Structure 1
């Protein structure tokens, strides 16, 4: 039973966590920010995109006379497409994400939080609307939205495995799911199917600890879920290695197939790699989906 003291302690821990997370995410975003986020194609906007030769059907008002005067060809000045896009994030905050195989490595949830919030910072700086899947925080722009995301990302889910939130998907928006995807695959399948039905395209970022790829266990070992609800003891852990690795490879194949079927992009990020590398991949993958849409 919660007492005023334990509630206060928990509240203080959460209050201390989200400013630190925000500072780290903004630092990471600043390290990889290459310029304002643009769709890098012609369209409605204020920024210059490129000159191109005039074509039949172009308005005479679109011709750039200064550039055209430099030669015998008439050129049109195009602007860059700058329509704000809604991007919805889902961050797995289940207990399985609180695993780290050593003190030298971050927990999966810690890395996932940094990646999700840093990506939100980058998108917000580029004028995009960012929020969460579901109804708790619809996509919006602005500093206040980033603060709200940081606060919500610091909350934990008590369940061992949290299924993706797929409610209130905005038609033709973009989405990013970040998880270890160790739970029931049916939840992921349902979420991506519903997203595809609404024209939502996005990215799955599969976050894994390096030990979950290598399975470096042998002899007597007790395997226990982070939430403590599941436990398995074996005297010959090395005998499980091949079966475990086969199951992991099968899960990756399932996720890749789901992404291929629904128009999403799949990638793996390991917690022993740099957060900057993970953020760069996410940023490029999301932008590639936007351009392809």
Structure 2
């Protein structure tokens, strides 16, 4: 008996298909926000996120304007002395800002069973739940891969949820972008990290050079950990761009598990060297454990 792992999902390209996907995402928006609120309710806030009096008016630095900055963020006096635009950052904005990158590549749409969520859904719920907690703590949060600058408030939380529900990207694997992370801020990267690890290492190194610390949360499906495949199997990337067929899938298991262990060890080592923290979460386990880890990791890295 043949089997395929994972199942290829072709993105809709026709106008009717695009509309159907848009309506499906819109319908899921309230459920995502409700799940995030419910998940956040299971976490008791500690000292993390307390405001520090006297820091709000203290100048931090000028930085070049980047994608996602609004016109009101531009310091026109400083920008007038240069050909570029600059943003005036205050200390509390850098020290209390958390930027999230949530992988929206096609690999995150995989689930090995109907009884568990896709990796992407779990990532979105965790990211939004973390934003709920940060908002309650009076902290600013933004979405790096959607160019959403760090702010706070219920309206901003709704905007984040809307961005998280946008259709997936077209690439098999995602790549984080650290260029829009405010210097001295904190960051969270949520992905399966199964693509080329070089861009991830590059972004973490650049972040560390700018005083940015944060957390890497790797989300994997249990099937990606156990490799439960045997006999004739067709392995295919979610976009269908890469395909490999074998008659003896079980013979690949040891080599696969070794490569996966090496990938985890590499991510953990890169995180340690750059002052970040790393954790692997399985989509079959309760989401609250990963949320607690994220919240604690940011607290320790603050």
TM bin, normalised by shorter chain, reads 0.7 to 0.9
**Cα distance change of structure 1 residues 20 and 266 upon mapping to structure 2, 3 Å threshold:** same
Query: How far apart are residue 85 of structure 1 and its match?
Result: 0.4
> Of residues 123, 132, 149 in structure 1, which corresponds to 2:134?
123
What aligned pairs does 1:224-243 form with structure 2 within 5 A after superposition?
A: 224-243=236-255
Q: Give per-residue Cα distances to partners, 1:21-60, cap 9 Å, x unaligned.
A: 1111011111223357445999979xxxxxxxxxxxxxxx
CA distance in 2, matches of 1:237, 1:4: 39
What aligned pairs does 1:96-135 form with structure 2 within 5 A after superposition?
A: 96-133=107-144
Structure with bigger RCO (C-alpha 8 Å, 6+ apart): 2
Q: Does 1:204 align with 2:212?
A: no
- RMSD over equivalenced CA pairs, Å: 2.4
CA distance in 1, matches of 2:162, 2:53: 37
Aligned to 2:19: 8
Q: Does 1:176 align with 2:164?
A: no
Name the SS for the 1:87 alignment partner: strand
CA distance in 1, matches of 2:287, 2:251: 33
Consecutive unaligned residues of structure 2, counting only runs of 5 or more, are: 1-11, 57-91
Q: Does 1:148 align with 2:159?
A: yes
Query: How far apart are residue 14 of structure 1 and its match?
Result: 2.0
Aligned to 2:232: 220
**Cα distance change of structure 1 residues 154 and 24 upon mapping to structure 2, 3 Å threshold:** same
Name the SS for the 1:223 alignment partner: strand
Name the SS for the 1:176 alignment partner: strand
CA distance in 2, matches of 1:114, 1:105: 13
Aligned to 1:270: 282
- Large movers: runs of 4+ above 3 Å: 1-8, 33-45, 81-84
CA distance in 1, matches of 2:55, 2:300: 19
CA distance in 2, matches of 1:9, 1:102: 24
> Of residues 81, 92, 104 in structure 1, which corresponds to 2:103?
92
Name the SS for the 1:161 alignment partner: coil
**Cα distance change of structure 1 residues 159 and 239 upon mapping to structure 2, 3 Å threshold:** same
Name the SS for the 1:118 alignment partner: helix
Query: How far apart are residue 11 of structure 1 and its match?
Result: 2.5
CA distance in 2, matches of 1:82, 1:126: 14
Query: How far apart are residue 143 of structure 1 and its match?
Result: 0.9
Is the 8 Å Cα contact of residues 49 and 134 (structure 2) preserved in structure 1? Answer: no
Name the SS for the 1:139 alignment partner: strand
Aligned to 1:53: none
Aligned to 1:74: none
